[in-house]
Chains A and B, each alone.
Chain A
Amino acid sequence: MINIYEVNETNNMIQHENLDVRTITMGISLLDCACSDLAQVKDRIYQKITTTAKDLVSTGEAIERDFGIPIVNKRISVTPIALVGQAACQGPEDFVSIAGVLDQAAKEVGVNFIGGYSALVSKGMTRADEHLIRSIPQALAQTERVCSSVNVGSTKTGLNMDGVKLMGQMVKETAEATRERDSLGCAKLVIFCNAPDDNPFMAGAFHGVTEADAVIHVGVSGPGVVKVALEKARGENFEVLCETIKKTAFKITRVGQLVAQEASRRLKVPFGIIDLSLAPTPAVGDSVAEILEEIGLERVGAPGTTAALAMLNDQVKKGGVMASSYVGGLSGAFIPVSEDQGMIDAVNVHALTLEKLEAMTCVCSVGLDMIAIPGDTSASTIAGIIADEAAIGMVNQKTTAVRLIPVIGKGVGETAEFGGLLGYAPVMPVNPFSCEKFVSRGGRIPAPIHSFKN
């Protein structure tokens, strides 16, 4: 039988170390909502979401009460809207009207974000894909809860550089369209390479076409728990360090597995995957940066950061895969700057730069995340950064993403405020030299060769 020490350990994690289940995300296929009449498409989408997810929030809350574990977010991901609206939408404004419907449906069922305002253009763009992409700035400016993502490349297809260039412009336009809120729209826009079909985390969640009609994914968290566990392993060698991280990741993931199974059973929706990510929040003691500092770095960004992060990420996965048979999504350590107090502090003391963050993304999920850059950064420079990050994903056969916020009207040294879980971020300097000619070439970067690995 369970003993008092085990009970206290679990409850201490919840009460003092910020252990929580970060999100229960219901993926809903909207493929059956597609037809050539826009009004009908919108009606079907609204009906399908509000019927399928009507009990999502109340079930999540009941599970919280039963187990005494906070479930921070209840969310929905849907089939990429470029596919759903393909036949009905004649231009970007038609897609914007679908975004409005998604927003209404999200409000109706009480979820704080709905993901899947997306296009998959890793090799080429259909007319509908391009219309959706061009509608993103207005869609994100006019809605509150809709999240957008675009996949511009993959290991198998290479990089769609036309898509990359276009996304550089769209990031800039989204920033302009939401300039009065520190360009908040860009916090809801992710550009991927190798985007997973089953990611439960926003803003990049969408319900892939390989998925079932409806499915439950769960994202666990708990950087604070790992940090506290590592405090007890100060001065120990790497073997002890790795063991500690693995054991902690196992325990955290088992909670996620339990919540996922319960949610799946109660909602009568199949269980999809557990996403093992260490997802920080702006709260003190809920930071991936603090874990890296506990491992032995004075500040994140110091030499050794990439190695420490690689080790952390690998141990989290090794512990987590033992705890759940279905691991998927992004699964790794997240390093969003604005959502992690330790990252913000490191940027403020100039320990952490954009280039070091890029190196860190080579060894962890997911990418350059929630980074504020000067508002006058050009669209081509943003496209260049997207291309760099996508190339890392393409060559290393991993998911990478970019969520940059060019804060219109602000420069280096100033701070952008996003509020809530999105936090705040110091504006970071960007390399001032141009890549305009590179990103303007047009066409694709071919898929990389998979032999002769060096």
Chain B
Amino acid sequence: MNKIIITVVGKDTVGIIARVCTYLAENGVNILDISQTIVQDYFNMMMIADIAGAKQPFERVAADLDLVGKEIGVMVKCQREEIFTSMHRI
């Protein structure tokens, strides 16, 4: 297991999750958990995914998702899970 956190923030529009998930499916990234909220009209999604079986290395997945985000006008950010667990878990 090699967990990453994908966050998507931007103006709500049709097909945001679909586009991101399509990319992940095509590249062998397994989604473990999805949650989303709308904060002041802004779409806010977080995914926990496993890249242990991914076809691409982490850097490439992060760069590609950044591009996918730009195409649909949202910000997609990819980070390794440890930064969140170290900050929020003792």
Q: Is the CB of B48 within 8 A of A1?
A: yes
Cβ of A68 to closest chain B Cβ, rounded Å? 4
Q: Can you name the residue of chain A whose Cβ is closest to the Cβ of B37? A: A4
Q: Can you name the residue of chain A whose Cβ is closest to the Cβ of B5? A: A7
Alpha-carbon separation in the docked complex, A3 to B78 (Å) = 15
Alpha-carbon separation in the docked complex, A2 to B7 (Å) = 12
CB-CB under 8 A for A10 and B83, given A1-B48, A65-B62: yes
Main SS at interface, chain B? strand
Alpha-carbon separation in the docked complex, A255 to B80 (Å) = 12
Q: Can you name the residue of chain A whose Cβ is closest to the Cβ of B46? A: A4
Interface residues of A in 241-279 (CB under 8 A from B): 251, 254-255, 257-258
Alpha-carbon separation in the docked complex, A115 to B5 (Å) = 37
Residues of A within 8 A of B26 (CB): none
Interface residues of A in 12-36 (CB under 8 A from B): none
Interface residues of A in 59-80 (CB under 8 A from B): 62, 65-69
Q: Is the CB of B77 within 8 A of A4?
A: no
Cβ of B78 to closest chain A Cβ, rounded Å? 8
Q: Is the CB of B83 within 8 A of A69?
A: yes
Alpha-carbon separation in the docked complex, A11 to B87 (Å) = 11
Q: Is the CB of A258 within 8 A of B86?
A: yes
Complex partner residue of A4 from B44, B62, B78, CB under 8 angstroms: B44
CB-CB under 8 A for A65 and B83, given A4-B36, A6-B88, A10-B88: no
Q: What are 22 A-to-B residue pairs whose CB atoms are below 8 Å?
A: A1-B33, A1-B48, A2-B5, A2-B48, A2-B88, A4-B35, A4-B45, A4-B46, A6-B84, A6-B87, A7-B5, A10-B84, A11-B7, A11-B77, A66-B79, A67-B79, A68-B79, A254-B87, A255-B86, A257-B86, A258-B82, A258-B83
B: residues with CB less than 8 A from A are 5, 7, 32-33, 35-37, 44-46, 48, 58-59, 62, 77-89
